[in-house]
Structure 1
Amino acid sequence: MSEPLVRVWQEEIVIPTYLTGDPDKNPMFFEKRVYQGSSGVVYPNPVIEKVYDEKTDKTYTGLFLENAYLKIMILPELGGRVQMAYDKIAGRHFIYYNQVIKPALVGLCGPWISGGIEFNWPQHHRPSTFSPVDFSLEENADGSKTVWINEVENMFHTKGMAGFTLYPDKAYLEISAKLFNRTPLPQTFLWWANPAVKVNDHYQSVFPPDVNAVFDHGKKDVSSFPIATGTYYKVDYSPGTDISRYKNIPVPTSYMAIRSGYDFMGGYEHDARAGVLHVADHHVSPGKKQWTWGNGDFGRAWDRNLTDEDGPYIELMAGVFTDNQPDFSWLMPYEEKSFVQYFLPYRELGLVNNATKDILVSMQQAGDLLTVRVFVTSPQKGLVLRLFHDNRLLDQTRFSATPEDLFVRTLPVAPGIRARECRLAGRRRRGKRAAQR
């Protein structure tokens, strides 16, 4: 009997872990405590204020999803976070993989760890980020498999569920979230998916081409983007510094995109020629954020606080129902909100110009040569790509592609034509009748 196209299973795994102290037995009321720009109230959640320096091997329950393209590991004992996301084609972790559980007292209730994908809900750095949640494994009729995590959080008694799904022929991780207010009163919440990404001097954040400015928390300050020309986070970036590149940001810094009409954001490692994208409907998920500890002594000290050997990272955060922090949304009595987010690895494209969960495109120019690259997350046949300049068709080509092999088209263009002035249009052919319309 052949192996199933998608596998889901539960397995005990051992991870080196720095242990934490016991929770304070007395509830913490601190009504005026501020955390991430908003209330730091955590009652009735317990607070832990001790992390030990000794490391020991600890056994965890690992929940695994795997298909031909990806392998995912989720840890329900640590808030249901995605601890590992591996690209089998490229042979690399497309999400920062921290091989040790090394908490620092960063979270709302104390311990917090770097790496993976954390889900910040109903407050930033989630009260249960270091606590166990319920889970179940599901096999679907279409051959896909899902890991569900679920909790009723203690602060507002709202219910949050996230379903992690792999499909047989798709090179992306789908995350379906459902948030439900079980109470007769309106309740506040926020939801930011918080993936970590490995960085070095070759790393560059990938924001959509219409992002020309970024805000900090609460929109108190603004900077042009990607080239900063003024002072931002007390750093003078004049006469011009590319702050999409990790190496150029020396201090802890956040920035959030202003009004993007695109559905994607991500990051690219130029040395590895590979990256990661988040894709979601920008009307539902407008939040596009980068956070770094900074490429300096302070940042390197925090690297040592949070990992033993895996080095620096940044957070590429994706928020729903808001484009800034600490903005909150409302759940009316007995209301449910649901939405879908996608995370996917990609290769060779460099900075992406546009993307859906199915197709990613980039367009780059060197002199009078224009190169278009197309990456797909599932086998695609009968695609048609058109290149326009001033509404004039410059090129049309038909092709097929797979996640293993991207499509590349290089063509000469007349002097004076620039890539930024061109646009791409594409469709899938559906027989002669569709092609003639």
Structure 2
Amino acid sequence: MATSVRRAVTTLPAAPLGPENPLPGLRTLDQVHELDDRAKDGLPRDMKRQIGNAPLRTTLPVRTLDGYGRERTETEVESIVIENDRLRATVLPGLGGRIHSLHHKPTGRELVYRNPVLQPADFALNGAWYSGGIEWNIGATGHTTLTCAPLHAAIVPAPDGGEMVRLWEWERLRDLPFQVDLWLPADSDFLYVGVRVRNPHERPVPAYWWSNIAVPEDEHTRVLAPADEAWYFGYERNLARVPVPHFDGADRTRPTRSEDPADYFYEVPEESRKWIASLDGAGQGLAQTSTDRLRGRKLFVWGTGAGGRRWQEWLTEPGTGGYAEIQAGLARTQLEHVPLDPGADFSWLEAYGPLSADPALVHGEDWTAARSEAARALEAALPRASVDAAYTAWLAHADHEVGEILHTGSGWGALEVLRGGHKLPGTPFPESTIGEQQRPWLELLRSGVFPAPRKVVPPGPSLVAQHWRDMLETAPAEPLTEYHLGVAQWHAGDLAQAVRSWERGLQLAPSRWPLLRNLALADCEAGHGERAADLYAEAFADLCEERRDGEHWTAATAALGREAIDALLAEGRTAEARTVWEGLRPATRTTGRFRLIEARLLVAEGDKEAARAVYDAGFEVADLREGSTEVSDVWATITDEPVPAAYDFRRLT
């Protein structure tokens, strides 16, 4: 059959994403993938330089997604299917453009780990993330803020005369437009993926990209790559150069032989073909290869310990097989950000498809023979020269005008194109995509005035790039303008000026709680706990007087209440924390996050028996952060008994 592209619907048990958190993310990121300063000593010069290249302080201007739960219902999810007589790829354009399924028809095999549910969890830089398939991570170290966001999608002519699917968006952490072109030639066993990240600015920008592929894992799985060494990151905030495959008494290319979670960033020689493969006991599985720009390759394992297994269950459902991740990126490790020059771009071609190799060799003890056999099988299935030729052919189509629109992303790109006058052939950001969140900023751009809202609502999202900050500084100093200006100044590191802007705005603000909250958080970050607690209590009381019905007000109350209780408990002001608790919506208090807060509050009040009853009744904290031990930590304040398995997420050692 000829290659076809069609809209479809994928039905999955899914938990709704819920509303955005309306409070700006001012807190400094606490990243799992972070190095202690002493750990950087002795690293290669280019790696050390790129690890120190503009790490994020916050995820501004992107909002946090933490309004989801864990109740799943059968849900129809928009999808795009790309299919020939060999492969069928299912793409979710409304959820980061992820390849949810890659099905090989001749063998009937699913080449990637296809998650049977859609369950958000707190793994992305801005919260909600889900596991499985092939995801496109752009922005900064971690899972992209676009993982649960809609992308633009359209049909574009493919190099072979057929059709390909273009996905594109404006990545907001670094203000970089990007595109992902999915191309499946007729009769091909391999899906081609052309990627381009562009810098339209007059300054260099730190770029980040990792393609993450979830692959099925069992006791026979082995991951192969063209490397004899790897950079090992074991979540102790340290990088160590280790041999491949054997390290610390075990063959670490076999995911189930690691008890603890770990990253292995393979040291692929510069002249070697760039590839990675995951093969089962019969020597069959998935191979990923690319042109040389995408130099990094990585294996991530959850580990066989109780915590690692618990996290995997958390991301899917009990009884589902485990998975590992094989990955490919711009740098050798995910801790690095690569400078992208003004007006330049990074582009490359990836290919994904089935691999079949001699199982006796790929699973043998001779590592050189094992990886050589995998490389031979890959070269036979898809020669390196064919990938390079496909890249050249794709580049001639990378600027091609899009055809039928399959999906619409956000309006942020359109706003930036209008502001900067950027010319981005192949990735249109039409003004028609500008929506409610972008309209106030469009008015600021055109009139120099940030408009007051027509009704009482929580403030919309802030923009923080220098050009928007400059516009806010010259706009009339209305309270809402000062609110957004302070957020932009905070993002720029001018904390004192941010506080002054919020204090000015507070003098005439009809809605005081957003400004009070920002001032409270600023005091928290500065170590002024008592003053922060005062401001949080005042902010929450003001919100309770002002709030209306609706999910945005409920989200604001929950978010501010959570921060206020934390600040008050930190200062031992238990009675005031209880007052905030009682001011929450009844439905909010029944969620898992607030059941855990209730247990903490009861412990602070001296009622450990009641706190234990909260645990005994059962709860699930839907937005439990990757690596968090807070559920077991609170348990330890109640009893010396072992942590029940349902509450044990202690995977990081």
* Same topology, TM > 0.5: yes
Counterpart residue number, 2:351: 342
Q: Which has the higher helix share?
A: 2
> Percent identity among equivalent residues?
23
Distance in 2, Cα, partners of 1:13 & 1:334: 39
- For the 8 Å contact 1:219–1:324, the answer to whether it is kept is no
Distance in 1, Cα, partners of 2:230 & 2:143: 25
Distance in 2, Cα, partners of 1:213 & 1:47: 34
**Larger mean Cα displacement after TM superposition, 306-315 or 74-83:** 306-315
Query: Which of 295, 301, 322 is the equivalent residue of 1:312?
Result: 322
Q: Which amino acid aligns with 1:16?
A: P
Counterpart residue number, 1:95: 112
Distance in 2, Cα, partners of 1:181 & 1:259: 27
Structure 2: unaligned runs, 5 residues or longer: 35-54, 363-369, 384-653
TM-score (structure 1 length as normaliser)? 0.75
Distance in 2, Cα, partners of 1:185 & 1:377: 38
Counterpart residue number, 2:221: 203
Query: Which of 330, 333, 337 is the equivalent residue of 2:342?
Result: 333
Q: 1:219 to 1:276 in 2, by over 3 A?
A: farther
Offset at residue 349 of structure 1 (A): 3.3
Query: Which of 222, 242, 253 is the equivalent residue of 1:244?
Result: 253
Distance in 2, Cα, partners of 1:354 & 1:169: 27
- For the 8 Å contact 2:6–2:82, the answer to whether it is kept is yes
Distance in 1, Cα, partners of 2:298 & 2:10: 32
Counterpart residue number, 1:177: 195
Q: 1:182 to 1:212 in 2, by over 3 A?
A: closer
Counterpart residue number, 2:274: 263
Offset at residue 33 of structure 1 (A): 4.2
- For the 8 Å contact 1:251–1:294, the answer to whether it is kept is yes
Offset at residue 216 of structure 1 (A): 2.6
Q: Which amino acid aligns with 1:22?
A: P
SS at match of 1:51: coil
Distance in 2, Cα, partners of 1:331 & 1:222: 27
TM-score (structure 2 length as normaliser)? 0.51
Distance in 1, Cα, partners of 2:172 & 2:290: 28
Counterpart residue number, 1:398: none
Large movers: runs of 4+ above 6 Å: none
Query: Which of 113, 128, 153 is the equivalent residue of 1:135?
Result: 153
- For the 8 Å contact 1:33–1:39, the answer to whether it is kept is no
Q: 1:224-276: CA deviations, max 9, x gaps?
A: 21011xxxxxxxx3xx31111112101111111124323221111115x4111
Counterpart residue number, 1:361: 376
Q: Which amino acid aligns with 2:22?
A: K
**Larger mean Cα displacement after TM superposition, 169-178 or 40-49:** 40-49
Q: Check if 1:77 corresponds to 2:74.
A: no
Distance in 2, Cα, partners of 1:297 & 1:58: 31
Counterpart residue number, 1:404: none
Offset at residue 188 of structure 1 (A): 1.1
SS at match of 1:5: coil
Q: 1:153 to 1:141 in 2, by over 3 A?
A: closer
Distance in 2, Cα, partners of 1:68 & 1:360: 25
Offset at residue 20 of structure 1 (A): 2.9
SS at match of 1:19: coil
- Structure with the greater alpha carbon radius of gyration: 2
Distance in 2, Cα, partners of 1:212 & 1:205: 14
Q: Check if 1:121 corresponds to 2:138.
A: yes
Q: Check if 1:277 corresponds to 2:287.
A: yes
Counterpart residue number, 2:578: none
Q: 1:185 to 1:374 in 2, by over 3 A?
A: closer
Q: 1:338 to 1:324 in 2, by over 3 A?
A: same
- For the 8 Å contact 1:6–1:143, the answer to whether it is kept is no
Counterpart residue number, 1:42: 59
Q: 1:16-53: CA deviations, max 9, x gaps?
A: 10223321112112245445324352111110224312
Q: 1:406-431: CA deviations, max 9, x gaps?
A: xxxxxxxxxxxxxxxxxxxxxxxxxx
Query: Which of 381, 391, 396 is the equivalent residue of 1:376?
Result: 381
Counterpart residue number, 1:387: none
Counterpart residue number, 2:173: 155
Offset at residue 102 of structure 1 (A): 1.1
- For the 8 Å contact 2:70–2:119, the answer to whether it is kept is no
Question: Any residues of structure 2 matched to 1:29-68 within 5 Å, and which?
Answer: 29-31=26-28, 33-34=30-31, 36-37=33-34, 38-68=55-85
Q: Check if 1:216 corresponds to 2:225.
A: no
Number of residue pairs matched? Answer: 348
Structure 1: unaligned runs, 5 residues or longer: 229-236, 363-372, 379-437
- For the 8 Å contact 2:6–2:81, the answer to whether it is kept is yes
Counterpart residue number, 1:299: 308
Distance in 2, Cα, partners of 1:77 & 1:24: 19
Offset at residue 155 of structure 1 (A): 2.2
Offset at residue 94 of structure 1 (A): 0.6
- For the 8 Å contact 1:215–1:258, the answer to whether it is kept is no
- For the 8 Å contact 2:224–2:371, the answer to whether it is kept is no
Q: 1:83-131: CA deviations, max 9, x gaps?
A: 1111111111111111210111111010111110011102220111111
- For the 8 Å contact 2:21–2:67, the answer to whether it is kept is no
Counterpart residue number, 2:366: none
SS at match of 1:247: helix
Query: Which of 19, 35, 38 is the equivalent residue of 2:16?
Result: 19
